[in-house]
Structure 1
Amino acid sequence: MFNPKVISDSIVSSCDRCPRLIAFGNVLLDISVELRDDSNILQDFDLKEDDQREIPADKLARLEAVAIETCGNPKYNPGGSALNTCRILRALGEKNVMFCGAVGADENGKILLQILKDNSLCTCIQTLPEHSTGTCVCLISGDKRSLNANIGASLHFKKEFVMSRWCQDKIGHCKSAAHDFNEDVRVFYIEGYFIPEKFAICQYIYENYCKGTANLFVTNLNATYILQNFTKQMKCLIEQADLVFGNLTEFVTLAKIYECDSVDDLSKSLIRKYLKLNREKIIIATDASRCVRFYHGNGSAFYAETYQVPIVPQKAVVDTTGAGDSFVAGFLYKYLNGEAPTLLDCVRYASKVAGKVIRQVGCNLPSSLPASPLVSPI
């Protein structure tokens, strides 16, 4: 159990000029297309029904053109794992959240920045004129989705930009929580997709904002290919992180990397190495509509629990894109705003948020969801 303080809108962190949650990730324009039953697009482009991958820009452009021509009615949304989480956090009522990333100086970049401005999401965005804004084509078939992305400008987000005075001022220099665990913590969240070519930024954030402080360092596994292709970097982030999110498939892959027989053994091994004072390491493995397995502990203390996810009728599921991202948002929102929540409270609330999002196209909450100054009644 952990006991973050109840925080009103007027008390946003130990320093009201500093964001409570700062996220780093890839910026994408999501183009969602619902596939027709007679469509052969997945086969023609050698894609899988429920998968995510990065593909070359020219192939992605052809895929987008064929999907729209064949199936029509594309829907456009801001995308990117951490950005999705920030947007859902903002929609839930968390005002003091900031997203950091990069876009190109193109029309898609302008569209994305305007949408984020309209959503009142605070951003720290680097614009790179020599690169195009990242794009993701989401091919939807029932509760399955094939995510195909080229991250474009996001691949070239610079450490020098993060270190610049402008960016540093937006992130904030407050370290008043550094040695007092009764202070309100700040959360630094880095998505797994962010790792390629930008691991130096991840380490900079950890070393300068989280190491030796009460601030939380949080990451998301995001995809098996990230774990397989950037194993050394991901292991470093996972071992440093106070909170690790991922789905069961990703954790099974990670268990094999660590040569563990099961996800339970993997979690026990990671938690045994975690020796921070007055804090537990938390590991959360989702398994679609089945259950959430979560682990927590510190050193020799180890706990494993399971939560059965409430059933969402199959006919109510519109788009599972961003379900995991919205789960993270719900968990962190409850964590930051709940009154002495347990892990089960946070997991339960996260599952309810994800259950609402999969009833919409794109990673969005229903527009009719009532706002709340503390924890919204999902």
Structure 2
Amino acid sequence: MTSAAFDVLGIGNAIVDVISHSDEAFLGQHGLVKGSMMLIDEARAETLYAAMGPGIEVSGGSCGNTMAGVASFGGRGAYIGKVRNDQLGSVFGHDIKAMGVSFETPSATEGPATARCLIMVTPDAQRTMNTYLGACTGLGPADIDAKRVASAQVTYVEGYLWDAPAAKQAVLKAFDAAHAAGRLVSITLSDSFCVHRYRDEFRALIRDKVDILFGNEAEIKSLYQVETFEEALEATRLEAKIAALTRSEKGSLVIKGKETHAVPAAPVAKVVDTTGAGDLYAAGFLFGFTHGKPLAECARLGGVAAAEVISHVGARPEQALKGLI
């Protein structure tokens, strides 16, 4: 196997986040389920945007956040995602390149606008996300360069891609290209509602294709339809090669076969916004993994990155993560 030009290649929905502080009353008024991610159409996006309070715009998307984290650690990252040749598309492309991530996917010249996610952050630091996928739905197999996939140690994708059939086919093409080159593939479950939509497909992927699985406590319990985390842990052990499972303030557990590594959460002075916690945990873990670190150390780095991102508003690091190692 040839040496890798990239540590991690991410494939995801290229989204610009609009983040605003909100309260329980606003969520109730607009029929929003706290802590969830809901897909919305353009009309709904315009209605919510008009009703939101003052917000900040920052490039996001689950996998995009992870790749920004990998780069912040000093890792070599590349990203595949679809934007439109509009203002938000330019913002997304500038931001991810400025972080040091290679981004060469051609912008769409027609069709829906660049995707945006309207995020309401409540006083308890929970984020409620409403996503208009827009140009993301144009991502397809033609956007996957097998040679580029083969140039990365790990290809990492977000479960949200299963909401667009063409994007799902793109992921499967990338997975096959990665394995043909002797590389590894990884997926994050993304959201318990996403798991509910694609439970059987995700479980088949985990058994047959995925090398590294990421999920939180709610997602993994939803995947195996069990009541306790302990039951989910043992069910995961039977199907996943490596699984990194996060439990918020309880830290994370990494399992590989009969191995179990329990790692405490990194300290954080004040939780401000949990947006991106799972994304940055994956960044730290994958950075460690692609640099030959033991699984427990990979989880520790994930916890360090998650602690940094939840200490401020926004889903990307505000300080260089390599300085926190």
TM-score with structure 1 setting the length: 0.78
- C-alpha distance after superposition, 1:189-242 (max 9, x if no partner): 11101122122222211222215x541110100112222212333223222111
Equivalent AA in structure 2 for residue 303 of structure 1: E
More helix by share: 2
Gaps of 5+ in 2: none
Note if contact 1:219-1:237 (Cα within 8 Å) is conserved in structure 2. Answer: no
Equivalent AA in structure 1 for residue 161 of structure 2: F
Equivalent AA in structure 2 for residue 99 of structure 1: Y
% identical aligned pairs: 21
- C-alpha distance after superposition, 1:251-290 (max 9, x if no partner): 0001118xx981123123214xxxxxxxxx2111111112
Does residue 17 of structure 2 align to residue 33 of structure 1? no
Does residue 39 of structure 2 align to residue 54 of structure 1? yes
Q: CA deviation at 1:296?
A: 0.7
Note if contact 1:26-1:81 (Cα within 8 Å) is conserved in structure 2. Answer: yes
1:283 aligns to what? 243
Equivalent AA in structure 2 for residue 225 of structure 1: F
2:308 aligns to what? 356
1:121 aligns to what? 101
1:85 alignment partner, SS class: helix
Gaps of 5+ in 1: 1-12, 175-184, 272-280
Does residue 158 of structure 2 align to residue 203 of structure 1? no
Q: CA deviation at 1:333?
A: 1.0
1:47 alignment partner, SS class: coil
Q: CA deviation at 1:111?
A: 1.7
1:195 alignment partner, SS class: helix
Q: CA deviation at 1:101?
A: 0.8
Does residue 239 of structure 2 align to residue 270 of structure 1? yes
For the aligned residues, what is the CA RMSD? 2.2
2:137 aligns to what? 155
Note if contact 1:102-1:153 (Cα within 8 Å) is conserved in structure 2. Answer: yes
- C-alpha distance after superposition, 1:298-324 (max 9, x if no partner): xxxx223322213424xx222110010
Equivalent AA in structure 2 for residue 101 of structure 1: G
Q: CA deviation at 1:102?
A: 0.4
TM-score with structure 2 setting the length: 0.90
> Residues 100 and 370 of structure 1: is their aligned pair in 2 closer, same or farther, counting only changes over 3 Å?
closer
Equivalent AA in structure 2 for residue 34 of structure 1: H
Alignment counterpart, residue 197 of structure 2, candidates 225, 229, 247:
229
Q: CA deviation at 1:370?
A: 7.0
1:310 aligns to what? 266
Alignment counterpart, residue 107 of structure 1, candidates 68, 76, 87:
87
Note if contact 1:294-1:305 (Cα within 8 Å) is conserved in structure 2. Answer: yes
> Residues 40 and 119 of structure 1: is their aligned pair in 2 closer, same or farther, counting only changes over 3 Å?
same
Does residue 324 of structure 2 align to residue 377 of structure 1? yes
Note if contact 2:13-2:133 (Cα within 8 Å) is conserved in structure 1. Answer: yes
2:299 aligns to what? 347
- C-alpha distance after superposition, 1:89-129 (max 9, x if no partner): 111211x2100010122221122112223333211323222
Deviates more, 1:101-110 or 1:79-88: 101-110
Q: CA deviation at 1:329?
A: 0.3
Q: Kindly report structure 1 stretches of 4+ aligned residues shifted beyond 3 Å.
A: 13-16
Equivalent AA in structure 2 for residue 288 of structure 1: S
Question: Whole-Å Cα distance in 2 between the matches of residues 370 and 83 of structure 1?
Answer: 16
1:246 aligns to what? 215
Does residue 25 of structure 2 align to residue 43 of structure 1? no
Note if contact 1:19-1:172 (Cα within 8 Å) is conserved in structure 2. Answer: no
2:104 alignment partner, SS class: strand
Q: CA deviation at 1:249?
A: 0.3
Question: Whole-Å Cα distance in 2 between the matches of residues 53 and 153 of structure 1?
Answer: 17
1:219 aligns to what? 187
1:131 aligns to what? 112
Alignment counterpart, residue 329 of structure 1, candidates 265, 283, 291:
283
Deviates more, 1:213-222 or 1:120-129: 120-129
Note if contact 2:215-2:246 (Cα within 8 Å) is conserved in structure 1. Answer: yes
Question: Whole-Å Cα distance in 2 between the matches of residues 230 and 264 of structure 1?
Answer: 19
1:194 aligns to what? 161
